[in-house]
Structure 1
Amino acid sequence: MVSRLPPKPDFESIETAALASADRRTMLLALIGNLSFSWSNNESMFIYVLMLLLDTDEISAAIVFSTLNTTRARLDLIQRLALIRIGQPEVREELDDLIERFTVATRLRNEFNHAMFMLNEQGDITHTQSLRIVERRGQFKFGETRKVDQARIDEMSAAIHDLRDLNRDLWDFLPRLQASVPARAGPER
């Protein structure tokens, strides 16, 4: 009987050989960790954006934020609220730019956080296999395979740097957003 399964790796050989490539693998895993860390810190900054747009407190904004179960849904809500709450077009455009920069980093973060990693006989991480199902012309394919080479490592390093800059830009943007969103009058007491 012919199996449709891939061949079982020779785990003992790979683990033995992997000792020699541990530094590269550790570096790659550290980049993935830093990418995830930086991305998460930026995503949480949008709680403050939501707080200002909803004219509410931090915990209420965090509840709304965490109730939406995808990053895309959270950003869609922010962009819709921005249309009705931000009167200055340049502030809305700046917010849209910040969201777009975050979205670019999200694609790369998702790629590494939702992937299967392929190893060679020496235990090197050589490729990622996307866990997404892709349909093209009625044909289904199990995700995209991408090589993990120096260009990919450079792409990750650049994304981490971009996320660092984005975090600073979000902090600088919050006071401008606050100034451009009118506070709602509370009930008379």
Structure 2
Amino acid sequence: MNRPVPPFRDVLTLLGQLNYTWTNTESLLIHLIAGLAGVDKETATIVFLTLNTTRARVDLVERLAKMARTPSPVRRDVLEVTRKMMAEAKLRNKYNHCIYSFDDTGDNVSTLLMRVSESGDSLRYGKMDAIDADEIANITRSISRLAQTNREIWALARRHGFPL
């Protein structure tokens, strides 16, 4: 079935929702840092803001969870939510590190990936992907999964008594 693709402004709105949902969920790592490191929320916030990439923040949370002193149920819960979060990172990163192409009517939206790929003695760059109805559905599902992960992090923090 051919589903219509929304105009570019609607795609941008959806991507804004993806980015907001991601950023809001990533900020909850502050509570995990506080609980796992045994510090207050203000200290955890400073640590979070000092680490300037998602990967560094998640690495810290996962390493704290893997410490011998972390109870198994806490470790399992934390590693599960960070795994779910990072499963969405590829899509989020794709749309945050590309430029967009569309025709003069705002239709036929595509991404142009701004990354160089080296293979042997050649370079490739500027991979184009259409944002079609299937991709819109993929983005929408990712937003839903991130929102669910957000709720799981809140529940985990409450269940294990982490600073809120």
TM-score range, shorter chain: 0.7 to 0.9
Kindly report which structure 2 residues correspond to 1:52-71, keeping only aligned pairs within 5 A, or say none. Answer: 52-71=35-54
2:98 corresponds to which of 94, 100, 115? 115
SS at match of 2:7: helix
CA-atom RMSD, angstroms?
Answer: 1.8
Q: What is aligned with 2:120?
A: 137
Task: State the TM-score, normalized to the length of structure 2.
Answer: 0.87
Listed one character per residue, the Cα deviations across residues 27-65 of structure 1 (whole Å, up to 9, x for unaligned) are 211100100010011000000100111111111111111
Q: What is aligned with 2:78?
A: 95
Contact 1:127 1:148 in 2 (8 A): yes
Kindly report which structure 2 residues correspond to 1:2-151, keeping only aligned pairs within 5 A, or say none. Answer: 24-84=7-67, 86-151=69-134
Task: State the TM-score, normalized to the length of structure 1.
Answer: 0.76
Residue 26 to residue 85, structure 1, CA distance change in 2 (3 Å): farther
Distance of 1:98 and 1:143 partners within structure 2: 33
Number of equivalences: 157
Distance of 2:87 and 2:122 partners within structure 1: 27
Distance of 1:113 and 1:86 partners within structure 2: 37
Runs (5+) with no aligned partner, structure 1: 1-22, 180-189
Contact 1:53 1:85 in 2 (8 A): no
Distance of 1:139 and 1:177 partners within structure 2: 51
State the shift of 1:85 in Å: 5.8
Distance of 1:141 and 1:123 partners within structure 2: 27
Distance of 1:117 and 1:60 partners within structure 2: 39
Distance of 2:128 and 2:69 partners within structure 1: 42
Residue 143 to residue 78, structure 1, CA distance change in 2 (3 Å): farther
Moved more, 138-147 or 39-48: 138-147
Moved more, 152-161 or 50-59: 50-59
The structure with the larger Rg is: 1
Distance of 1:25 and 1:157 partners within structure 2: 15
Distance of 1:143 and 1:104 partners within structure 2: 24
Runs (5+) with no aligned partner, structure 2: 1-5
Q: What is aligned with 1:172?
A: 155
SS at match of 2:112: strand
State the shift of 1:144 in Å: 2.7
